[in-house]
Structure 1
Amino acid sequence: MRSTTSSIRPVERRAFLGAAAGVAATGFLTACGGGTKVGAGQNKAGSAPTFSGGEYKGPKVTLEYWNGFTGGDGPHMQAMVAAFNKKYEGRITVKNTTRRWEDLYPALPTAISAGKGPDVAVIHNDQIATFAVRGTLMPLDDVVSALKLTESDFIPAVWQAGVFDGKRYSVPLDVHCLADYWNSSHLTRAGLDKAPGDRAGYEGALKELQSAGVDHPFWMPNKWPAHLMFMSLLWQFGGELYNQEGTSALWGSDAGEEALGWMVEQIRKGYSPAQVAQDSQYNAFKNNKVSFTWDGIWQINDLKSTASKIKWDMSAIPTIGSTPAVWTASHNFVLTSQAGRDDNKIQAAKFFIDYMSERSTEWAQAGMIPARNSVRAQAEVARLPQTPLAANVDVFRFLPALPGLGDVQSKALELAVQKAVLGHQSPAEALADGVKTANKILAENKQKYAK
């Protein structure tokens, strides 16, 4: 996945895409190789000491901690780690290692097998199933039980995303989703005071903006974040991505055609130029050429730094279909099988995960929406621009917990969206071909990840 901050250079934001859509899973599978479970025979999940909270009473221990926060979110994470090290000075020391997401994911399995990887890490929700089925992660059910953490403490969808095969493998730190960024000056020229939230209003606004002199008010990408836009619209039109068994892609449905058709329609109506190059829509927005752009909330800090160039605001993406919905992902703390070789590291890592999750106020400054309800309710978090997007948490939609889903997304769904937006195929044709490819990969994954 791309790093989730707004100060990321274009190439780094594409890296974020790789993890969000699971592209990095390709390298991960290559590193794992066949059906071998990483950490098999070394994972002490069944005999690990039970976490009971309170204070760490073990000997001095050093934890290796990996994450992919290479952008503007990095300093916020570093500040959180520094605060933990100060609190547990002389007892627990956390060594923070930051790597690009597209490097971190494929490196994890082999590094952990060699004892040179992390004891605790942050990964995205769509990676949990793949790493869990390979034996790279250890369950955290005892942590959430001891701390009496339940779904009611978190945004429900992000809480559920941490469970695979009946066990909890993560504690969520945040949620991050698409948002609709709009140029306030452009809207004022068109007689609008804010971005409309419904289809009729949004399409009417595009027409008014064009009449007011904005040639192309809404540039439609064919790559990042086109597939995130498509998934959001698919859910809005009542569609689903995959069946419950994870054996069939469902996005070639009528809902999928409506979703992709609406995206293509914006080009046909002249609201967007054809063949928008990678990152062009976002750069055009920053340079005062685009009225609306859908992108992740991690762009907030970047846009703040360019505030002198444009006047902008943000809101939830409009409801083009019948049901509000938006693509969402999450950063999650996980305990690895490397820590499972040392009882003291297991306990220390669990204290670290609890501490970081509970004190995510600092993390909200990086542009994220804290996963914990209590943190979002704090005054300093509630006034941040991204927090209102969580006013209705039911709109957040996550990718399902399917091992190897990244290959399906990158080799089938993303490619289908790209072909249609570029005009190489009709939405129906692109989706039909994509579903065939997706179902083939899903069948292969069933064998690859068989227990």
Structure 2
Amino acid sequence: MTLSQRRRRAAFAGTAAIAAALVLSSCSGGGAPSTGGEFTGEYDGPEVTLSFWNGFTGGDGPFMQQMVDRFNEEHDNITVESNTMQWADFYQRLPAAVTAGEGPDVGVMHFDQLGSNAARQVILPLDDMVDDLGLDAADFTETVWDAGVYADQRYGIPLDIHSLAMYYNTEHFEAAGITEVPTDAESFAAALDALQAAGYDTPFWVPARWPGHLMFMTLDWQFGGEPYAADGSAASFADDSGVEALEWMRSIIDDGYSPSDVAIDAQYVAFKNGETSITWDGIWQFNDLEESGLPYAGVPVPNIGGEAATWASSHQFFLPRQDDADRMNAAKVFIAWMSEHSEDWAGAAMIPARQSVLEAGALEGMPQEPIAAALDDMRFTPTVPGLGTVQAETLELAVADGVLGAGDPGDVLAEAEGRATQLMQENLATFAE
């Protein structure tokens, strides 16, 4: 993912409210949606051309297109055409397009958008497809499999898992005499001290915004917390665990390891340019770092709080609401094929979601291979409607205030938690209508 893509992803938080508003205003279309009738796992109907919507506009885009091209080569009666756009545009356009009968035939979205789109019947349940193909939790980690479920129905088929990771400059570590990569709070603090002693004055920059809130949630889980209720009824990130998490982030600045006001992307640019020694960022940065020539390595985020945990997300395939059984069944064949061949997606620096694909060696020699060793420690936020917007308007702002020293961590989190719970309750009422 390029730097511009990082900025656009960060900017998505600000546009999420617009996207959510469109979802809320989209009508369900009335009646029970069709799911294409009986699905046998094959498609022998007339030739169809499927519109495939996705947001892979960065360095991941060519890998997705290669997979689509390969699918087309292997299927005479199905042609898939990619319609690729910025994620913010994708989430804004999808509900209205489906309602107008102008939506895609198949698509892929972040799992945290499934709940909102499922609640308004923009997308369809896939339980019949899962049963017919024999897909189940045994071939996926529990967290990524459960992430595709909303209201006891499956709406997403996991393509990948992507998480935070810790990147470190191997030359800096060597100069500082660090021979073992830090894995906990004590060894991480010792590494920072050693790096400063070696002349790297601010070795680990803590950003106030993206991906600061992802760092916070990772730490909240590590300290034993849970930022949101599983049913979407309340926020709980202001408890003792959350306060400890934000206090730790601020302590990195107070102790002189980070500048006090790190802008979006600044921490990554500084690391890529060799100005800092450590950064926590998403695994989507691997390809960019590989091309940069920087002497680096990537490992799981250290366990600072005592419980192994790392923020993660997932891209998941979905079917939009439509009435053409042939196109729908052809789209199911496409989803099944993409899932089965997701080893190709590893080239995009993602971790394929299927255990069978991983066990076949999809990550062998890939830079993200060490991160996959921590799959069981990866955590997801609940799949509930509107949570992304709530988070952008509450938690992200509180984390920024705490990191910047604009307020006491406990106070800013408590205020944001109250507001978040109010918004979550409003969402539950709205989506229940």
With normalisation by structure 1, the TM-score equals 0.93
Of residues 261, 267, 271, the one that matches 1:285 is 271
1:58 aligns with 2:51: no
Of residues 103, 115, 135, the one that matches 2:89 is 103
Aligned length: 433
Alpha-carbon shift at residue 40 of structure 1 (Å): 3.5
Contact preservation (8 Å) 1:67, 1:122: yes
Partner of 1:31: 22
Match runs of 1:282-361 below 5 Å:
282-307=268-293, 310-337=294-321, 340-361=322-343
Give the secondary-structure state (helix, strand or coil) at the position aligned to 2:316. Answer: strand
Partner of 2:349: 367
Q: 2: CA distance between counterparts of 1:273 and 1:85?
A: 50
Over the aligned positions, Cα root-mean-square deviation in angstroms equals 1.4
1:14 aligns with 2:7: yes
Alpha-carbon shift at residue 119 of structure 1 (Å): 1.1
Of residues 193, 211, 233, the one that matches 1:247 is 233
Contact preservation (8 Å) 2:159, 2:317: yes
Of residues 97, 100, 122, the one that matches 2:108 is 122
Unaligned runs of 5+ in 1: none
1:431 aligns with 2:413: yes
1:8-48 deviation per Cα after TM superposition (whole angstroms, max 9, x unaligned): 124x21322455x6x544122332454x5344447214xx3
Q: 1: CA distance between counterparts of 2:337 and 2:345?
A: 13
Give the secondary-structure state (helix, strand or coil) at the position aligned to 1:177. Answer: strand
Contact preservation (8 Å) 2:205, 2:262: yes
Partner of 1:399: 381
The amino acid that maps onto 2:401 is: K
Q: 2: CA distance between counterparts of 1:301 and 1:97?
A: 23
Alpha-carbon shift at residue 266 of structure 1 (Å): 0.2
Partner of 2:60: 73
Q: 2: CA distance between counterparts of 1:427 and 1:294?
A: 21
The amino acid that maps onto 2:217 is: M
Q: 1: CA distance between counterparts of 2:225 and 2:10?
A: 22
Q: 2: CA distance between counterparts of 1:437 and 1:254?
A: 18
Give the secondary-structure state (helix, strand or coil) at the position aligned to 2:66. Answer: helix
Alpha-carbon shift at residue 392 of structure 1 (Å): 3.5
Contact preservation (8 Å) 2:161, 2:353: yes
Contact preservation (8 Å) 2:298, 2:370: no
Q: 2: CA distance between counterparts of 1:177 and 1:18?
A: 19
Give the secondary-structure state (helix, strand or coil) at the position aligned to 1:77. Answer: helix
Give the secondary-structure state (helix, strand or coil) at the position aligned to 2:279. Answer: strand
Contact preservation (8 Å) 1:162, 1:168: yes
1:162 aligns with 2:155: no
Q: 1: CA distance between counterparts of 2:373 and 2:265?
A: 29
The amino acid that maps onto 1:15 is: R
Alpha-carbon shift at residue 194 of structure 1 (Å): 4.1
Q: 2: CA distance between counterparts of 1:111 and 1:374?
A: 35
Contact preservation (8 Å) 2:346, 2:362: no
The amino acid that maps onto 2:359 is: A
Of residues 23, 43, 63, the one that matches 2:33 is 43
Q: 2: CA distance between counterparts of 1:356 and 1:186?
A: 40
Q: 1: CA distance between counterparts of 2:158 and 2:20?
A: 24
Partner of 1:223: 209
With normalisation by structure 2, the TM-score equals 0.97
The amino acid that maps onto 2:70 is: A
1:200 aligns with 2:191: no
Q: 1:443 to 1:376 in 2, by over 3 A?
A: same
The amino acid that maps onto 2:330 is: A
Q: 1:262 to 1:403 in 2, by over 3 A?
A: same
Contact preservation (8 Å) 2:167, 2:278: yes
Contact preservation (8 Å) 2:228, 2:381: no
Q: 2: CA distance between counterparts of 1:240 and 1:18?
A: 25
1:418 aligns with 2:406: no
Q: 2: CA distance between counterparts of 1:241 and 1:50?
A: 40
Of residues 64, 71, 75, the one that matches 1:88 is 75
